[in-house]
Amino acid sequence: MGSPSTPGRLTVISGPSGVGKGTLVATLLERHPRLWLSVSATTRAPRPAEVDGSTYRFLDRERFEAQVQADGFLEWAEFAGNLYGTPRAPVEEHLALGQPVLLEIELEGARQVRRSFPAGFQVFIKPPSFEELERRIRGRGTDSEEAIQRRLARAHQELAAEAEFDAVLVNGALDAAVAELEAALGLAAG
The string of pLDDT tens digits covering residues 25-81 is 999 999 999 999 999 999 999 888 888 988 899 999 999 999 999 999 999 998 878
Q: Domain residue spans in the chain?
A: 10-184
Arithmetic mean of pLDDT over the chain: 90
C-alpha span between 50 and 133 (Å, rounded): 27
DSSP per residue, 65-97: HHHHHTT-EEEEEEETTEEEEEEHHHHHHHHHT
Q: How many residues does this entry show for the chain?
A: 190
Mean pLDDT score, 6-31: 88
C-alpha span between 35 and 28 (Å, rounded): 8
Q: How confident is the model at residue 189 (pLDDT cuts 50, 70, 90)?
A: low
C-alpha span between 72 and 2 (Å, rounded): 25
CA dihedral 83, 130, 175, 109 (to 10 degrees): -20
- CA atoms within 13 Å, Cβ hemisphere of 129: 3
pTM, two decimals, is: 0.85
The string of pLDDT tens digits covering residues 67-100 is 999 999 999 998 878 999 999 999 999 999 999 9
Q: Using a pLDDT cut of 70, give the percent of the chain over it.
A: 95
- Which CATH code is given to the segment(s) 10-184? 3.40.50.300
Q: In what order do the strands lie in the sheet with 167-170?
A: 36-37, 101-104, 10-14, 121-126, 167-170
